[in-house]
Amino acid sequence: MSLSKDTVSKLKNFATINPNIVYGGSGKLKTISEAKNILAETEVEDITSEFSVYDLNELISTLSLIEDGDVQFGNGQLTVTNGKGYNLKYVYADPNILTKPTKDIQMPEADVEFVLTSDELNDIRKASSTLGHNTLQFTSDGSGVMEVKVTDGTGSSKNSFWFKKQITNTTSFNFDFLINNLKVVSDEYNVSLSSKLISKWEGSDITYYIALEKTSNYGS
């Protein structure tokens, strides 16, 4: 079989979170960052066997060595062949030494929920890159309007970028993220924020759980 572009794209995204990957063959692919502050999960249909890889980027690059290859996930290794007679073997890593999710996250009840469009997400990233800031703030004074702001996170008067969104919540809050932790693909997301310092970003195909910074507060 050949891996679909969709699966390869998911693997590339997961590699930005953690180069380690352990797949149990269940159809659900998961990864977690070394710091345990980002977890992502998705469904894959074209990988049905278990595998474990120490360097996911290396695997992706290795697979590109053989065009139109037939990929077989075997016991302890995967192999790739094609009609030209090319052959490739990639040996799995010991899953016991890799960083991997050990349990599902039980998302607490959300305190704030909203939709973030792909255009808004891309503009946040563009502003972060242009201004050199790494903090994303979601703030509200309880008026039903939320400010989405890219800032340096110090509360200074330095340059910043922001826009406003209507929300149903009428409690004041300030939720802080490190933009470096937003390892999400470009998509529209149903975002849930919890005062337990965890967030859920549910896209069309991948769901992410991302930790909030300790500077966040709700109702104070």
Model pLDDT for residues 107-156, shown as the tens digit of each residue = 999 999 999 999 999 999 999 999 999 999 999 999 999 999 999 877 76
Domain match, 85 and 31 both: yes
Residue 104: inside a domain, yes or no? no
> What does the pLDDT read at residue 65?
92
More confident of the two residues 152 and 193 = 193
Q: Is the pLDDT of residue 157 over 70?
A: no
Model pLDDT for residues 50-73, shown as the tens digit of each residue = 999 999 999 999 999 998 889 999
CATH of the domain at 70: 3.70.10.10
37, 69, 97: which is the final residue of a domain? 97
Residue 26: inside a domain, yes or no? yes
Q: What would the mean pLDDT of 202-218 be, rounded to a whole number?
A: 97
Residue 106: inside a domain, yes or no? no
* Domain span holding position 16: 5-97
Domain match, 9 and 66 both: yes
Domain match, 119 and 211 both: yes
> What does the pLDDT read at residue 205?
96
Q: Is the pLDDT of residue 161 over 80?
A: yes
Phi then psi dihedrals of residue 129, to 5 deg: -70, -40
